[in-house]
Structure 1
Amino acid sequence: MPGQQHTPVSVQTDAGVMTITIQRPEARNALNAEVLTHIADAVDAANADATVRAVILTGGEDNFSAGADIDMLSGHTAASYVVSENRHAFDRIRAARVPVIAAVAGYCLGGGCEIALACDVVIASDTAVFGQPEIRLGIIPGAGGTQLWTDRAGPGAQAMAALTGAPVDAYTARRIKLVDRVVPSGCAVSAAQSLAAQLAAQAPLALRATKAAMRARWGMTLDAALGHEVAVMANLLASGDANEGITAFLEKRAPEFRGA
């Protein structure tokens, strides 16, 4: 329609699944302040909405994101970068309380790669290319990229990515466990939708609690994280969903979870 304002990120919610799509095809979905704010705001909304049970984060079937707009980094001092809203947006994205599935095609580089690897599951099209090219600009991955590769693929893969800036293709990424599944070109989003529908059918309290228990390991020792897991499980056992799930299993019927 004439006068309709284009938004660089679309957000749609259907049947308990929120889909966040980066829409800057002219820039290969490069991240700028507006894109990061829209994504972070959508994640905050998902956290606050008990009806949202899973999130898909994608750039469509051409490119996930070729990285951050370089001019977003220019002019920063050491102090201003640390407190910048752009950097803080990555923290907000990682703070998603619901399971997040990255549906990746084409370029997934720099900050785009850091966002994808912060998701719980990464589904990649066979066109996907992953990399952290920051060293070629005289900087480092500054939004999780020096840590997230190690969590998924180990320190060797992390070193190669961060120290050389060399990208890896989808099948190499799957072989080193950087991604969880590779699908044919044009199928990344539909594969993510299928998985998200499966997640949305689970007990919502248990979904969020499972993610909280898994992510606790990021900031705790193993013993502390195991203790946290026990506490989360104990609280869940007092919920109506847990009672319904156990009762339904014993009665050989499908459970009807209510998120309480």
Structure 2
Amino acid sequence: MNVLFEQIDRVVIAKLNRPSALNALNSETMYELISKLKKYDQSPSVGCIVITGSENVFCAGADIKEMASKNFSQMFEEDYFGYWEVFSKIKTPVIAAVSGYALGGGCELAMMCDIILASETAVFGQPEIKLGVIPGIGGTQRLTSLVGKSKAMELILSGRNIEVEEAEKIGLVSKIFPQTNFLTNVIKYAKDLANYSKTALIASKESINQSLECSLKDGIVFERRIFHSLFNTKDQKEGMNAFLEKRSANFNSMYQLKN
């Protein structure tokens, strides 16, 4: 298996498992990861997904051995990397837990996630320019959106790697954890998210992503309508009643309308 899956409470951990290839993303790994995550995404028992690799390598990139001999027609007709768009449509919050190297496709995979949590050893980069190509899984688009045009240009045109401190400084990394007990701390973080209303988590994610696609005026209207719609859910009543009653809320009613 190229990806190992484990569910702990409401958190699913998907661990890339190609140590001999430094967790490189070949087509088999892509389909295995995405097809399984699609199923978890539909489960009311899953509130958060964590993508991770090994302690030393999150993912070294796309599998060059698989690509090297292909020509334009093959890449175009296969729509190579096109299936990654399915990953970007996952509604459940997805955390990238990055320890060690996240290069090329590995960096792009991390950027496709909603939050990047990194260990002190994490290293990021888009070195495709050194292979005579450009990023192909959204790197030029997502990196620019995250860190701005000038920094994205500098990183992609130079192909240089950056340490985790710089990655956090420029807004690529959300939070840095110590290497010791890194994944344990990430899972704890993910559990905290997963215990909130899944409906509200999905709505939050959708609203934030919408902000990247529309004007501020249209985005505010979109947000307000989603906000209104949540008042027809049991989780809204549970959350607000729990606040008024000074107790912890118990969210477990994904997609259920109030009676």
Structure 2 length-normalised TM:
0.92
Partner of 1:208: 202
Q: Does 1:97 align with 2:85?
A: no
Is 1:61–1:189's contact at 8 Å kept on the other side of the alignment? no
Give a deviation string over 1:137-171, Cα, whole Å, max 9, x none: 11110111002122222222211111110110111
Give a deviation string over 1:28-49, Cα, whole Å, max 9, x none: 1111111111111122112211
Distance in 2 between the 1:99 and 1:248 partners? 24
Partner of 2:169: 175
**Against the structure 1 CA distance between its residues 53 and 83, is the aligned structure 2 distance closer, same or farther, given a 3 Å change threshold?**
farther
Partner of 1:149: 143
Q: Does 1:222 align with 2:222?
A: no
Structure 1 vs Structure 2 CA RMSD: 1.7
What SS is found at the alignment partner of 2:12? strand
User: Residue type of the partner of 1:228?
Assistant: F
Give a deviation string over 1:233-259, Cα, whole Å, max 9, x none: 111111111011111111111112222
Distance in 2 between the 1:79 and 1:232 partners? 43
State the Cα distance separating 1:95 from its structure 2 match: 1.4
Q: Does 1:48 align with 2:48?
A: no
What SS is found at the alignment partner of 1:88? coil
Runs of 4+ in structure 1 off by over 6 angstroms are none
Decide which of 160, 172, 191 is 2:185's aligned counterpart. 191
Q: Does 1:232 align with 2:226?
A: yes
Distance in 1 between the 2:241 and 2:158 partners? 54
Q: Does 1:129 align with 2:123?
A: yes
User: Residue type of the partner of 2:150?
Assistant: G
What SS is found at the alignment partner of 2:57? coil
What SS is found at the alignment partner of 2:118? strand
Partner of 1:253: 247
Runs of 5+ unmatched residues, structure 1: 1-6
User: Residue type of the partner of 1:161?
Assistant: L
Give a deviation string over 1:198-236, Cα, whole Å, max 9, x none: 011111110111111111123333332222211211111
**Against the structure 1 CA distance between its residues 126 and 83, is the aligned structure 2 distance closer, same or farther, given a 3 Å change threshold?**
farther
Distance in 1 between the 2:44 and 2:75 partners? 33
State the Cα distance separating 1:101 from its structure 2 match: 0.8
Distance in 2 between the 1:85 and 1:186 partners? 40
What SS is found at the alignment partner of 1:219? coil
State the Cα distance separating 1:188 from its structure 2 match: 3.0
Decide which of 21, 29, 34 is 1:35's aligned counterpart. 29
Partner of 2:81: 87
Partner of 2:2: 8
Is 1:236–1:242's contact at 8 Å kept on the other side of the alignment? yes
Distance in 2 between the 1:39 and 1:223 partners? 37
State the Cα distance separating 1:121 from its structure 2 match: 1.1
My pick for the range that moved more, 226-235 or 74-83, is: 74-83
Distance in 1 between the 2:11 and 2:77 partners? 32
Distance in 1 between the 2:10 and 2:224 partners? 27
Distance in 2 between the 1:223 and 1:80 partners? 43
Structure 1 length-normalised TM:
0.92
**Against the structure 1 CA distance between its residues 157 and 209, is the aligned structure 2 distance closer, same or farther, given a 3 Å change threshold?**
same
Partner of 1:140: 134
